[in-house]
Amino acid sequence: MISEANHDLQMAIYASMLVPIAGALLIFLCARFRGLIELVFVGTALCLLGVTISIVNLGADIFHQSISLINIIGSIPIAFHVEPLGILFACVASGLWLITTIYAIGYMNANKEKHLARFYMCFCLAMAAVMGIAYSANLLTLFIFYEILTLSTYPLVAHKGTESAKQGARTYLGILISTSIGFLLIAIIWTWFSVGTLDFSVGGIVEDKLPNNLLMLLFALYAFGIGKAALMPFHRWLPSAMVAPTPVSALLHAVAVVKAGVFCVLKITVYIFGIDLLDTTGANSPIIWVATATMLLASLVALQQNNLKARLAYSTISQLAYIVLGAALATSTSIMGSSLHLATHAVGKITLFFCAGAIYTATKKTLVSELNGLGRIMPFTFTAYTIAAISIIGLPPLAGSWSKWFLVDGAITADRLIIAIAFLVSTLLNIMYLLPIAINGFMSKPAYHSGTIQEAPFAIVMPSCITAGLCLALFFLLSYVYDFLLLLPLR
């Protein structure tokens, strides 16, 4: 029986994947006309945001209604459904994508990058894959789109075609494919074999079908298998992928790819294992410790980095570990914290990347030590940077403070005081590697005066200011997101 709402849902879900694909096709067809592809690119992003909003507007009635497309293996279909986490992820991704499109066009033009059509096309395809991940209704669908996302972003990372770009892209692909085939696929087939279903369903599907030690192994296989969540020691791809043009780093490595990773971890925790199961069996403990270690180690490594993008990359690894940790703690508060952090960190980190790109475009500088005094020349960029940095550190009145609050609260609820302390230590480290850049930028004297340096082009600065504004606005608006996430069927 297809009700009216169900029909709308079906249309909207298919549209959210078909719109970017259609965009990619259009770009392929009019590859010769530069202005046109830029128009199509932004238009696609707008349409996608519209589709996502229309899904939000369908309301809570349609949650967990599964829409099957075609049976792939035996009785396992490619199927989609809508649930709060997926909507949150889809909103974050499609919203920030719109901003990134403008930034990307500005950046690509200002830096005279080549192969634009291929670049925009792969960008669109990657978004289609992200939407597929967000709405996937079973593990197989999730896996398929996960792999498509990896493959479609590979050309973006290797975009420059230089030896170092190729090397970085090789590492990127190598780690993501190896972990997904080596661990994730095994975990999925194992789940299918021992549980007999792969559907994401409320309360989890594993139940008591596996003994505790195997459950621990399975959870670890999932956590490491989702290489996009960048748990150590499978994090190397993230810094390697920083050879990509900055818009790619910004969207894909602050929002789409890495967030797809942690989103998968969250979704598997909630809908495959169920947090009760993890909590009672203790199958989550190894991953808790690995995530804690990743969080602290990555922060320490970030301190050592002189290249701005590399520093941000390690900061991302550390922040992703927050989210994985929140998922692994498996309390409703920590899951809430993780989900909120998914949104707030995305907004914060994309701003930081935008600023790094703006600085590169204006000055061609990439090293932290070269940025002294630049704040006076590029006030907008550095203000945006400062706001985002403080948000990521987690100080009010910025959005990041809420998610960190819930995460620490979750650690305490789970009776793990050490983890709570680790969160605080990590916050201190955050301050140490993020803030000096802003302080030196404004306070120090410029190292060398070259009158030619000025603020980056408008199309680049504006997006960073918008996202910085979002960091601020979300602090006040986050209660809406919170209310929405209360719909998550945790208990």
Q: Are 333 and 413 in contact (CB under 8 A)?
A: yes
Nearer to another protein, 167 or 304 (CB): 167
Nearer to another protein, 5 or 181 (CB): 181
DSSP annotation of 367:
B
The β-bridge relationship of strands 67-73 and 76-80 is antiparallel
Q: Which DSSP string do the residues of 156-214 spell out, in sequence order?
A: HHTTT-SHHHHHHHHHHHHHHHHHIIIIIHHHHHHHHHHHS--B--TT-S-TTSS-HHH
Is residue 174 close enough to count as binding another protein by CB under 8 A? yes
Whole-number Å distance between alpha carbons of 26 and 38: 11
Amino acid at 281: T
Cα Dmax for the chain: 71
Of 29, 60, 181, 428, the one binding another protein by CB under 8 A: 181
CB of 127 to another protein, least distance (A): 18
Stretch that binds another protein, among 165-173, 251-259, 300-308, 355-363 (CB under 8 A): 165-173
Is residue 143 close enough to count as binding another protein by CB under 8 A? yes
Instruction: Count CB-CB contacts under 10 A for residue 177.
Output: 16
Nearer to another protein, 272 or 471 (CB): 272
Whole-number Å distance between alpha carbons of 330 and 450: 53
Instruction: Classify residue 442 by burial, with Cβ atoms within 10 Å: 0-12, 13-18, 19+.
Output: middle
Whole-number Å distance between alpha carbons of 276 and 203: 8
Is residue 155 close enough to count as binding another protein by CB under 8 A? yes
Is residue 129 close enough to count as binding another protein by CB under 8 A? no
Is residue 379 close enough to count as binding another protein by CB under 8 A? no
Q: Which tokens is 42 given?
A: 């932004």
Of 56, 189, 432, 473, the one binding another protein by CB under 8 A: 189
Amino acid at 344: T
Nearer to another protein, 46 or 144 (CB): 144
Stretch that binds another protein, among 177-185, 364-372, 374-382, 384-392 (CB under 8 A): 177-185
Nearer to another protein, 169 or 374 (CB): 169
Is residue 29 close enough to count as binding another protein by CB under 8 A? no
Is residue 70 close enough to count as binding another protein by CB under 8 A? yes
**SS3 call for 371:** coil
Stretch that binds another protein, among 104-112, 171-179, 311-319, 333-341 (CB under 8 A): 171-179
Whole-number Å distance between alpha carbons of 169 and 414: 39
Q: Are 270 and 491 in contact (CB under 8 A)?
A: no
Question: Residues 438 to 467: which contact another protein by CB under 8 A?
Answer: none
Is residue 190 close enough to count as binding another protein by CB under 8 A? yes
Is residue 73 close enough to count as binding another protein by CB under 8 A? yes
Nearer to another protein, 37 or 335 (CB): 37
Is residue 225 close enough to count as binding another protein by CB under 8 A? no
Nearer to another protein, 64 or 160 (CB): 160
Of 53, 68, 113, 182, the one binding another protein by CB under 8 A: 182
What is the total residue count of the chain? Answer: 491
- C-alpha torsion sign, points 145, 24, 170, 351: negative
Is residue 11 close enough to count as binding another protein by CB under 8 A? no
Orientation angle between helical segments 285-304 and 308-329, nearest 10 degrees: 160
CB of 360 to another protein, least distance (A): 22
Nearer to another protein, 181 or 417 (CB): 181
Binding site for another protein (CB under 8 A): 70-74, 140, 143-144, 147-148, 151, 155, 158, 161, 166, 170, 173-174, 177-178, 181-182, 185-186, 189-190, 192-193
